[in-house]
Structure 1
Amino acid sequence: MSSTTNVDNAPSTVDKGKGRARDPTERTPLLGSSSSVLDDPDAPAPAVVRRRLISKLTTVFLASFVSSVLAAAALGLLAWSYASRVSHVSPDDILTDGLVFRGPDRIDVLNITQSGGLWVNVEARMGFDAGAVVGVNASPEGDSFLENLWKAVGRWGVRSLDRVSVNMTTIYLTSHSTVLATIEVSPVVVPLTANPPSDMSWLTRISTPLLIRPTSNTSDLIHFVREAWREGSAAVRADVGHVDVRGGTLSEKSWRNMLHRELSDVRTGLRIQIPPIPGIPRVPSLSDLITLKSFSVHSLPGSLELTALATLPDPAPTTFNLTSPSLPFIISLPSANGTATPIASVSTAPFTLTHPNITLAIAGTVLPLRPSAAPLLSAFLTRYLSGRANPIVVSTPLVPDLDADLDFPAPSPRPQILRNVTIHDMALRPRGSTFVASGTVYARVVLPRGMQVGLHIGRVLPDVLVFDGPVPDGAEYLPEGDPTSPPLPDPLPAGAFGHLRPDDWLPALSGPVPSEDDEGAAFAVTAKIVDVPLEVLPGRQKEFSNFVSKVIFGSDGAVAGILGMASVGVDVFGMPLPGGGGEGEMELTGLPFSGSVPVGKKALRSVDEIIRHDADELKRWMDRFLHRGNKRTILNEEAEAA
């Protein structure tokens, strides 16, 4: 009993982990903990552990699945809400609320087609406020939590999409149901934005080529331009048959391409403001807009070269730039029957817009002309050299049937073509009841500055008023009507007493002479007058008597002032008129001149002979001529006496 008691009461041995590990045997469990589980009578059975693990995994899976379904449903609802918004967006919403366009900032004319179309490259700033169209931009008044969350997701979607490609059919620009032009647009990539800033810094610069074809109905186009200029704005409507919008760029292959929207029959109104130009009326003619700064003509072998420099106001804002290639034009002269005869072919040098005026450098040549064009060209040169504007018609092969009526401005100041006009060796002698004059007419022909052309002046026809003394300041002889037989001026200038006009053209000789820096080509012209009747002007017998008295009794003779108009027949070197020597010759009429002629006793040598031999006859002749009536009365008396 005692031994048993000792064994039961003996203290149990405690394993403190410092003993030597026992070697594993085939009965040793694989997991050290399992022995404790198996040895622990309160531990759950393995089957229970597995059931609990499966339950937990099932719970996690179901929770994840339900969460995924709910998230997918939420995303679907969001997508459906955005898609619903997008599907109900009208073209007007896109154009008025979404699309923002500024410019164009630059236009480069790339090419001009034979059919009259213009290929231009347009640079502008563009952006699309997709947030405003879809309705996901933040509200200035603030949004609720759910609204803010919904809009935030929408803005994230806009930023992820980033851009769309727009491809459209032909754009028709119309005004009052009249098609003004058509525009072929290349596909454009439009950037998308949500919550843009209030300024225009968010816009993206774009560059795209366009093909513009103006209408062939030029009258409608001119009417539209004039009305727009008068009203200060141009109202047009843009019609597009079909617009295709796809996400991303054209060459991009990504999820963005899933966005696809087609629009049909898109229409929008445009109003373009035309700012007033200082000094230009609201209803100007084209001539009011164009200022000719310089004009020159040069003779070349077989042709005439034309150059000019013109300016016109730049109505575009300072931020707008335009570059243009050379533009061709045809200059024609209108005739009385309403037709126009082409005279010159010119073209502009490539130009850009400059403020405040655009400068155009123009060059060209005179076209080969028919003989019937000579009178028109003669009238043009006559008016121009006389300081008067000329009507011209300007057209361009780029726009068929577009004719613009312009005024070719006169040179300012009015050029003085005939200078230093005088009559050398002038002789007066009585013939019947009048005097006749003989001598050599001398003049210097000076063309306006820039006209460096060769001339051959083969004939002249002067029409001269003769004054007792120098021509008074301000006196003019500007006869109207038939230049071959103009009437006398009414009233007659003070001091004028005689009128000289040959019955026919006078043969002339001409040759080039040196010219000054401010002059064009200069020529000396001489022509002989032989026994041209000197007609005493009506009511000016006293002036004539005083002049004759100065010549006869004055120690130094007298000075006769001459004032008149001359016509000349010229051949222009290089003028492409057929023939020459008359057939290709032009007549310039109405060229004013003035000068003076010294007249001494030798000029009246026939009167001197009368004085020496028959003073009574001279007295009788002068008495009859000066005091008994006009030329017709004297001739009638002499006829009766005969």
Structure 2
Amino acid sequence: MAEVLEDPQRYTKGKGKSEPREATETTPLLGAGSTHAGGDEEGLDLGNSSVARRRIWKILIFAFSFTLSLCLVVSLALVLLAYSYATRLFYISPDDVLANGLTFQGPDRVDVINATDGGLWIRLDARVGVDAGSIIGVNTDKDQGTLSDLWKSVGRLGVRILGSASASVATVNVYSDQALLASVSTQPMWLPITCNPPHDSSWLTPVSIPVFVRPTDNSSDLFQFVEGSWRRGAVSLRASAPEVAVLGGDGNGWRSMFTANFHNVETRLSLPIPPIPGLPEPGEDRPLPSFSQLVSVESFDISSTNNEIQLSARASVIDPAPPGFELTVPTLPFIVSLPIGNQDTYIPIAAAETEPFLLTHPNVTLFISGRALSLPSTAIEAVSSFASRYLSLQPNPISISSPLFPSLIINTEFPSPARKPKILRDVTIRHMKVKPYGTEFLASGEVFALIVLPRGMNFKMDVKQIMPDILVYDGDIDLLPPLGPLGNVPSRLPQPVPPHAFGHILPDDWLNATSVYNGTDEEGSIFSVSADIVDVPIQVIPGREKEFSNFVSKILFGSNGATAGLQGTVDVGVDIVGLPFHDGNGEDVGFQLKGLPLQGKVLIGKKA
């Protein structure tokens, strides 16, 4: 029987490569082998795929790194270029900054913080800005093309990155034409910088700057500057700084690496003086207004205690600042001094201080308080002259200084009252008797008067003595004007001698007096004063013997007596309670009110 051979593939399966099958549309690209056979082929294909992916990542990383590096290089170049523009700010001249870039408006407000060491610490509130784009030439120019502006934008970028600068100025000396007026010191100042600012002031940054101002020790230079400025109608100043240091940013951080130092920086400033309401217009060689035109004393009060004289006053000062300007001033102490005789020597008489105040328009009200100083006897003449001149409507020279500024002295005038006060009232001679003595007549009696001090003088005093200097008239003299000081020399009598005046009463020495305090009224303190006169000669005025004879006849033969008019002046020696004058021996002495006008009458004869 013939033997049937089996399919050869049955025995060779797994021992050799099988015949490849014909590929169809559904045949996988990588083939589908058995889990037991074909494993090496699959591993080879997976390895080739991983290598390809690594190559792609390398290409991408290289491209990214290159692009990033290029961007960084370009950015760094732009930044360096921008900073090259910004650093130009530190190498230009100060004149360019002051003329083209720095804008300062104000000060809008000034606060005086305190006064010490001969100067003032003040705080200035102002608005400031630096147009850096104009200084280094990178502001937008409409006349230039886009490419040029694109190049300038790099510079503007540098300015924006820098942002600000800090300036440190050791000391600024301020001069007039020649003389030093003041030295100014300040802390480092922060200055914002910008490009393409608008045309208005909205881009300026408010700043608050502490400043120490030390005025010159030569007060005459200051007054010459003020008077000269008023005559010209403008303030002209020159400011000089030995050194100015500028740092980028606020002076800290990496921006501070940009630095510059300028030496001997100088600038000039000229500002017109605006018209000030209530004062003549400055300029055209017009003189500076007097102190009385600037300051008026609205009210004052002088009161006494057992230990001191207390002072208070309210004054009005014309505000010279423009409307909207704010100024705050703390308490300021000052000393008032009076001249001794006609000399240039002054003696302090009062210490006072102002209350803190603000500027108000158009006038500033000042409230002042203080006390009288203990005075040596050498001040008697000065105080007496001051009081007498004040009561006679004459201005008084005074000197004002401050312990804060010992070298600054203001010589001015204390204003007189608006109208002449009537100090002596109801003047008469009680129980007056006239008796012959040789070729002349002697008068005796009791001089009586009321002393009414002017408004605000509410102190207490003790009238110790009086010295009358009186013309005697035949008849009433109510309608006659008052006389000035007469004196005991006939040639010093008023010329012509008033009608009906026939005698002159002037004692050889002071008359002892007593006084009683009667309180105060709507004016000032009131005192009743009396003094005895005993056998005081009535000097007959040359050429008036007939009038004198007629008057004596009325006394001797008239049934109603005779009315004698009294007119002249009186000097009063007083002690003011709380105001001791020390004579150097431990005793207090008083002072004198001289030339007080008096006018009164007395009835002499049987009816009296």
TM-score of Structure 1 vs Structure 2, range by shorter chain = 0.7 to 0.9
Distance 1:66 1:410, change over 3 A: closer
Compute the displacement of 1:179 (Å): 2.1
1:320 aligned to which of 318, 325, 334? 325
C-alpha separation in 2, matches of 1:392 and 1:192: 51
Matched, 1:149 2:150: yes
Classify the secondary structure of the residue corresponding to 2:274: coil
Superposed, 1:366-515 pairs within 5 Å as 366-479=372-485, 487-515=492-520
Residue pairs, 1:6-85, within 5 angstroms? 14-15=25-26, 25-29=38-42, 73=77, 76-83=80-87, 85=88
Asked whether 1:536 is paired with 2:535, we answer no
The aligned residue for residue 613 of structure 1 is none
Q: Hey, what does 2:139 align to over in structure 1?
A: 137
Q: Find the counterpart in structure 2 of residue 92 from structure 1.
A: 95
**Does the 8 Å CA contact 1:330/1:344 hold for their aligned counterparts?**
yes
Give the secondary structure class of the aligned counterpart of 1:108. strand
Which residue is 2:273 aligned to? 274
CA contact (8 A) 2:458 2:520 kept: no
Separation (CA, whole Å) in 2 of partners of 1:366 and 1:502 = 33
3-state SS of 1:504 partner? coil
Task: Return the offset for 1:420.
Answer: 0.5
Q: Is the Cα contact below 8 Å between 2:490 and 2:541 reproduced in 1?
A: no
The one-letter amino acid of 1:153's match is V
Query: Bigger shift: 57-66 or 432-441?
Result: 57-66
8 Å CA contact 2:81–2:154 kept in 1: the answer is: no
Q: Is 97-106 or 280-289 further displaced after alignment?
A: 280-289
5+ long unaligned stretches in structure 2: 1-21, 283-287
**1:15-414 matched pairs, under 5 angstroms:** 15=26, 25-29=38-42, 73=77, 76-83=80-87, 85-86=88-89, 88-113=91-116, 115-139=117-141, 141-250=142-251, 252-253=252-253, 255-281=254-280, 282=282, 283-335=288-340, 336-414=342-420
Deviates more, 1:594-603 or 1:121-130: 594-603
CA contact (8 A) 2:569 2:598 kept: yes
Give the CA deviation at 1:29: 4.1
RMSD: 3.4
Residue by residue over 1:325-374, the C-alpha shift from the partner in whole angstroms, topping out at 9 and shown as x without a partner, is 22222211112232112222222222222211222222222222222221
SS for the counterpart of 2:492 is: coil
**Secondary structure in structure 1 of the residue aligned to 2:223:** helix
d(CA) in 2 for partners of 1:119, 1:330: 21
> Which secondary structure state, in structure 2, belongs to the residue aligned with residue 196 of structure 1?
coil
**1:545-598 residue CA offsets vs partner (Å, 9 max, x unmatched):** 554555566554443221110112111111121269996121222110111222
Give 3-state SS (helix, strand or coil) of 2:508's partner: coil
Q: Tell me how far 1:297 sits from its aligned partner.
A: 1.6
Structure 1 or 2: larger strand share?
A: 2
Shifted more, 213-222 versus 276-285: the winner is 276-285
Change (3 A) 1:57 1:358: closer
**Displacement after TM superposition at 1:16 (Å):** 9.2
Cα deviation for residue 476 of structure 1 reads: 2.4
SS in 1 for 2:483: coil
Separation (CA, whole Å) in 2 of partners of 1:588 and 1:483: 18
- 1:571 is matched with which residue? 575
Amino acid in structure 2 at the alignment position of 1:102: Q
Cα distance change on mapping 1:599 and 1:51 into 2, 3 Å: closer
**In 1, Cα distance between equivalents of 2:155 and 2:412:** 59
Structure 2 distance, partners of 1:297, 1:70, is: 83
1:402 is paired with a residue of what secondary structure?
strand
Alpha-carbon distance in structure 2 between the residues aligned to 1:350 and 1:53: 79
The runs of 5 or more residues in structure 1 that have no matched partner are: 1-10, 38-45, 604-642
Query: Which amino acid is the alignment partner of residue 225 of structure 2?
Result: F
Alpha-carbon offset, residue 458 of structure 1? 1.7
User: In structure 1, how many angstroms separate the alpha carbons of the residues matched to 2:453 and 2:27?
Assistant: 134
Cα deviation, residue 62, structure 1: 6.8
Distance 1:54 1:403, change over 3 A: closer
> What do the CA deviations read for 1:33-68 (whole angstroms, capped 9, x no partner)?
999x9xxxxxxxx99x99999999988877876676
CA displacement at 1:172 relative to structure 2: 1.3
What amino acid maps onto 2:26 in structure 1?
A: D
TM-score by length of 2: 0.85
> What is the match of residue 629 of structure 1?
none
**Kindly, what percent of the aligned residue pairs are identical?**
44
Query: Given residue 424 of structure 2, which amino acid in structure 1 is its aligned partner?
Result: L
Shift of 1:443: 0.3
Q: CA deviation at 1:116?
A: 0.5
SS in 1 for 2:407: coil
Conservation of the 8 A alpha-carbon contact between 1:322 and 1:353 = yes
Residues 602-634 of structure 1, C-alpha deviations (whole Å, 9 max, x = no match): 56xxxxxxxxxxxxxxxxxxxxxxxxxxxxxxx
Q: d(CA) in 1 for partners of 2:427 and 2:47?
A: 142
2:395–2:414 Cα contact (<8 Å) kept? yes
Work out the number of aligned pairs and report it. 574
Whole-angstrom CA distance in 1 between matches of 2:394 and 2:223 = 27
SS of aligned partner of 1:222: helix
Which residue identity does 1:220 align to in structure 2?
D
CA contact (8 A) 1:479 1:489 kept: no
Q: CA deviation at 1:470?
A: 2.0
Contact conserved, 2:428 with 2:449, CA < 8 A, in 1? yes
Within a 5 Å distance, the mapping from 1:514-533 to structure 2 comes to: 514-517=519-522, 519-533=523-537
In structure 2, the CA distance between the partners of 1:472 and 1:52, relative to structure 1 (3 Å rule), is closer
**Residues 1:533 and 1:130: Cα distance change in structure 2 (over 3 Å):** same
CA contact (8 A) 1:99 1:126 kept: yes
Which amino acid is the alignment partner of residue 570 of structure 1? V
For residue 380 of structure 1, what is the amino acid of its counterpart? Answer: F
Q: How far is 1:387 from its partner?
A: 2.8
Task: Give the conservation status (yes or no) of the 8 Å contact 1:305–1:365.
Answer: yes
Q: Which residue of structure 2 aligns with residue 615 of structure 1?
A: none
- Determine helix, strand or coil for the equivalent of 2:406: coil
Post-superposition CA distance 1:135-162 (Å, at most 9, x none) = 22222x4431112212333333322322
Deviation at 1:32, TM superposition (A): 8.1
Judged with a 3 Å threshold, the aligned counterparts in structure 2 of structure 1 residues 76 and 484 are, in CA distance, closer, same or farther, namely same
